[in-house]
Structure 1
Amino acid sequence: MENARIGGWQFFLLVFNFTIGTAFFLRPGGMIAAAKQDAWLVPLWAGGAVILIACLWLILAERNPGLSIVQICIKAAGNKIGGLIALLYISFFIQTASWVTRNLGDFMKSTLMPNTPISVFHFMFLIVVCYASVKGVESIARVNEFLSPVVVLILVTICLFAVSEWRWERFEPMFRLNVWETVKETKAIIGFPFLEVITLMMLVPYVKSRVKTALLLGIGLATLLLSGIIFVTIGVLGVTRASHFTYPLFIIAQELRITEFIERVETTIVIVWLVWIFVKLCITYHCAVTGICQLFRLSDRTWIAIPLMLLVSGLAITFSDNVVENIEWDKRYIFQYASIYGVVLPVLLLILTWIRRGREAA
């Protein structure tokens, strides 16, 4: 295993940035379309549910101290079955990295550079991410720690300036949603971004202290921020406008006027999103590389990280033809797909761990 150590504060920032990552740009429009003026409540119940699920992940980690999720699979289920489950997790990390890469390409091509081939954006980011993965988790954590205050400050500043366009009547009537129907329509948010946080169980063995606090607070703070972003989006754009945009937060930044001569500040929100995409992609990519090395007992990450760029970029291109198709797939299937890795397999591994411990005690 990689010889690295990160602090509880660094792990908290990794959890927070990974969770909020691409969700703060992609989720508001769909949530507002489904839950109307009460959409800001959706991340609260979804995040609360996943905090409970995260307690399950922590119990699994406590029963297998010092092991990543891939190593836990092998220890709990044996080399053959455990290796197969570990391979499933590695494929999940790779697919998540591919989705993040595709989200980047779709955004850049549809809003900023429509004539540039989408694969150019993919490789521009993946080359840097590959280098970061080779350098290790400590380097990723330090860069993330340095960039976090900057991107949060930029995002909060934009939201504060956007309040000048705020209209409270856009929330009327409030609290009229059908709870059960809304849960069914918005359950995809549990899969993305919240259940994807299972990826960070690959990093738990490197954390020096306060793993529980960092994980739960990271998810909780990301939940509050996502809810706040949706709340601001409704207040500024209104339900009708916000639900018809793929990237409503980008529209807010595009229309924002801070003074008479400072306009079109959307480049700042693009910087925020690119930083968060970079962090999330670094984590998923590094976890995929680390998982492969742990499963096949390889010591050199470099020769895994480099060819993985081609696989991730290829998968990113083949996922869908356009962003609308990608969003539709997410709405229909992401909850079921992510639940396999975030709920079903951890429960299975925990049961197998208890059985193994019972046999050892006997």
Structure 2
Amino acid sequence: MEKLIITIFLFKRVNKILENGNISSSQFTVLVTFFIIGGSILYGPTGLVHGAGQDAWIANILVLGMGLLLVLLYNALGSCFPNMTLTEYSEKIFGKWIGKVVSLLYFTYFFLSTANFVRQAGDFTTTQFMPDTPITAIHIMFFIIVIMGVRIGLEPFSRASEIFFPLVVILVLILIISLSNQIEFLRIQPVLKEGMTPVIRVAFHSLGTPYLQLVLLLMLFPYVKQTKEAKKSFLFGTLIGGIVLILITTLSILVLGSEITERHQFVSYVLARKINVGDFFQRIEAVMAIIWFITMYFKISIYFYASVLSLSQVLKLEDYRFLIYPLGIITIVLSLVVNENIVESNKQAEFWTSYSLPFGLFFPLLMLIVSKIKKINTKGE
């Protein structure tokens, strides 16, 4: 009887570890890359061009630089607590009650962002592919797949991202190469006509999507096998994703021009429609749609996983899967009311950086400073 009890205990312990996941550094790199590209590859160029005109590519380089600095901050914080998630060490740093409040604020941020991105997926699908299909049906079908991915756990989910990564790389290369014959460098001139002020302003304004959102990946950071490799993967994945966004923004300006780029909501999708090689290889906008759907799926899934995991850790639950279905239903409902239409989504984007700033910069910086002052970490308390 005693052996049976010990066996059951060990099984539960092992099963709990497997549920938490254990991913490689290469898988973490892919997840970070998909997180950066997801959503931003369609919406990003329009917002940058709106503020910086033909100098949007310079603003994109600046915002990538600021994003890499944020990743250095997240790496420093994550390496202090290599075996704990963001919500776990917030209680360790701030104390039980203040820490729980901070953790609940992060859960709210993650959860509302999940619903917001589901709404973006629904808006894109109904406006570009299925105008007669109710957006509720799109949200339900899309989020069922998200729930399936989160429920199977972090390890299988991360391995799936590696399978899709070569496909995304090939499709991005096809897009760039196919449009190379339509590039006109005169469209990027004059450079810095209005000076650096509008470029810096729009770069800071664009920091909220996606770079301040990278704080979410501190929920995955402790599950990477080696902390040192996790830090490198975080930086490398951010760099790859940022370069892709720079290329797409620059290509939009060089092929379409700043005025056309600014007018279109989904400019990258419009860009893909311009592909025409020998009047044979043309109208392959599905390439951009596939890139966006793959990367957006993984981004939303990471957000939902972090939401469920953070709440389960605040509530001290043994299994985060218990919360997947109720939170999934609430997410679908919330996605229908978070924004009524694309116009509201655009208005929301105007203050997204201000909304994300406390979560992406102030709280992590404060945590790092307090942990250093109090000399709190899991490597030596």
Q: What TM-score do the two structures reach when normalised by structure 1? A: 0.95
1:234, distance to aligned residue in structure 2 (A) = 0.7
Match of 2:261 in 1: 242
Paired amino acid for 1:353: S
Within the candidate set 296, 313, 319, 1:277 is matched to 296
1:59, distance to aligned residue in structure 2 (A) = 1.6
1:131 aligns with 2:152: no
- The answer to whether the 8 Å contact 1:38/1:177 transfers is no
What secondary structure, in the 3-state scheme, does the structure 2 residue paired with 1:102 have? helix
1:30 aligns with 2:37: no
- CA–CA separation in structure 2 for the residues paired with 1:205 and 1:232: 37
Match of 1:315 in 2: 334
Within the candidate set 7, 12, 17, 2:34 is matched to 17
Paired amino acid for 1:291: S
Match of 1:335 in 2: 353
Which shows bigger deviation, 235-244 or 52-61? 52-61
- CA–CA separation in structure 2 for the residues paired with 1:177 and 1:58: 36
Match of 1:291 in 2: 310
Match of 2:160 in 1: 143
- The answer to whether the 8 Å contact 1:19/1:222 transfers is yes
- CA–CA separation in structure 2 for the residues paired with 1:102 and 1:178: 36
1:358, distance to aligned residue in structure 2 (A) = 7.2
1:351, distance to aligned residue in structure 2 (A) = 2.9
What secondary structure, in the 3-state scheme, does the structure 2 residue paired with 1:193 have? coil
Match of 2:6 in 1: none
What secondary structure, in the 3-state scheme, does the structure 2 residue paired with 1:6 have? coil
Q: CA RMSD in A?
A: 1.9
1:352 aligns with 2:370: yes
- Map of 1:244-263 to 2, 5 A cutoff? 244-263=263-282
1:355, distance to aligned residue in structure 2 (A) = 4.0
- Map of 1:68-87 to 2, 5 A cutoff? 68-87=85-104
- CA–CA separation in structure 2 for the residues paired with 1:65 and 1:228: 34
Within the candidate set 247, 264, 267, 1:228 is matched to 247
1:176 aligns with 2:193: yes
- 1:56-105, CA deviations, whole angstroms, 9 ceiling, x for partnerless residues? 22221222221000101111112211011001111111112112101101
- CA–CA separation in structure 1 for the residues paired with 2:186 and 2:72: 39
What secondary structure, in the 3-state scheme, does the structure 1 residue paired with 2:375 have? helix
- 1:280-300, CA deviations, whole angstroms, 9 ceiling, x for partnerless residues? 011111111111121112123
- CA–CA separation in structure 1 for the residues paired with 2:279 and 2:241: 33
- CA–CA separation in structure 1 for the residues paired with 2:344 and 2:360: 24
- The answer to whether the 8 Å contact 2:51/2:198 transfers is no
Match of 1:199 in 2: 216
Q: What TM-score do the two structures reach when normalised by structure 2? A: 0.90
- CA–CA separation in structure 1 for the residues paired with 2:377 and 2:180: 61
- The answer to whether the 8 Å contact 1:42/1:227 transfers is no
- The answer to whether the 8 Å contact 1:6/1:206 transfers is yes
- CA–CA separation in structure 1 for the residues paired with 2:280 and 2:237: 38
Within the candidate set 225, 228, 244, 1:208 is matched to 225
Identity among equivalent pairs (%):
27
1:137, distance to aligned residue in structure 2 (A) = 0.7
- CA–CA separation in structure 2 for the residues paired with 1:127 and 1:79: 35
What secondary structure, in the 3-state scheme, does the structure 1 residue paired with 2:276 have? coil
1:314, distance to aligned residue in structure 2 (A) = 2.0
1:177, distance to aligned residue in structure 2 (A) = 3.7
- CA–CA separation in structure 2 for the residues paired with 1:94 and 1:199: 11
- The answer to whether the 8 Å contact 1:188/1:330 transfers is no
